[in-house]
Amino acid sequence: MNAPVDDTDVSNDLIDKLEKQPPPRLVDTMKKVVMGGKLSETDIRCMSQFNHYTQQNKLLIERSPKLQKLCNEIFDLYIEIVDKSLDNAEKPKPGPMAPE
């Protein structure tokens, strides 16, 4: 039988990494879409990497309530960003002003 693994150090490292790396990038992206911008390829790649990262560490995340809460908060922000960007993409572009 396998002995239980103590992954506290790994979990704490992930928490540190997630608190420092993705949120600032996502917050900047959120500011951009709130101002009417759209997601760039880099923005999409960054969010995709976070999604891939969480999938790779799913079991570890499930064992750590703090890490799970942090990931849920990041995903909530991710959803807000995508929704706002889609709204921006659907807005008509302003045309040239007609002479008065």
- How far apart, in Å, are the Cα atoms of 67 and each of 17, 43, 87? 11, 23, 30
Contact 54, 71 (CB under 8 A): yes
Q: Of all helices (H) and strands (E), which one includes residue 80?
A: helix 65-90
Mean pLDDT (the chain, rounded): 83
* Cα–Cα dist 43/88, whole Å: 15
Task: Give the per-residue pLDDT at 10.
Answer: 79
Question: Residue 25's pLDDT is what?
Answer: 82
Kindly report whether the global pTM for this prediction surpasses the value 0.75: no
Higher-pLDDT residue of 41, 6: 41
